[in-house]
Amino acid sequence: MTFTDDVTESKVLLAEYDCLKEEQKTRIGFRDNLLYFTLAAATAVVAITVQSKQPPLLLTVPAICLILGWTYLVNDEKISAIGCYVRDLLGPRLGELTSANGTVFGWEVYHRGVAGHAVRKRLQTAVDLFTYLVLPMVCTIAFWCSPTAQVLSVLASLMQTLALAVLGWQFLRRTER
């Protein structure tokens, strides 16, 4: 008996499923920690700004939120893509091979239909928008209102504002799916 005698398509698909779910779990943990890290970093910048009385430091908050917000979005997209792949391709293929009645990996479909799913998704988007768009805009506006705002810094902050608008649009676009 050789090694290949034990390999079947269903075993390969199950191994793929295990690997995908492990990647998804890792990405979820990383994504969720990004949210906490962003809030901690923004809080630290605001505290340092208040202590040092240097309003231009507030412009680091939008930069932090842009970088971490984009990373958050990329991970969230990969998490969703794994779910779609398992739900739409891997599960049905395994179902064909095993002659399973109904859906294989039913959780992938079931949890999306649970009461309140759409509301929770919208609330999460609101949290994301607050963290990665509203918070940095509050810091930007506070800088604009400071007496130390100079033309180059204001121009840089306007570019950040444009980038934040694009990031916010990406968060909203993701919610519509």
Query: Is residue 9 pLDDT above 90, yes or no?
Result: no
Task: Pull the structure tokens for residue 115.
Answer: 């009461």
pLDDT digits (tens, 9 = 90+) for 50-73: 999 999 999 999 999 999 999 999
What's the domain range around 167? 3-175
User: Do residues 164 and 133 touch, judged by C-beta distance below 8 A?
Assistant: yes
Q: CB neighbours of 82 closer than 8 A, spacing ≥ 6? A: 20, 21, 23, 24, 27
pLDDT at 3: 55
Contacts 24+ apart (CB under 8 A), 140-147: 140/58, 140/59, 140/61, 140/62, 142/55, 142/58, 143/55, 143/56, 143/58, 143/59, 146/55, 146/58
pTM of the model: 0.85
Residue 73: Cβ within 10 Å count: 19
Number of domains present in the structure of the chain: 1
Distance CA 155, CA 110 (A): 48
Residue type, 87: R
Tokens 């390969």, residue? 12
Distance CA 161, CA 103 (A): 45
pLDDT at 1: 46
pLDDT digits (tens, 9 = 90+) for 133-167: 999 999 999 999 999 888 999 999 999 999 999 99
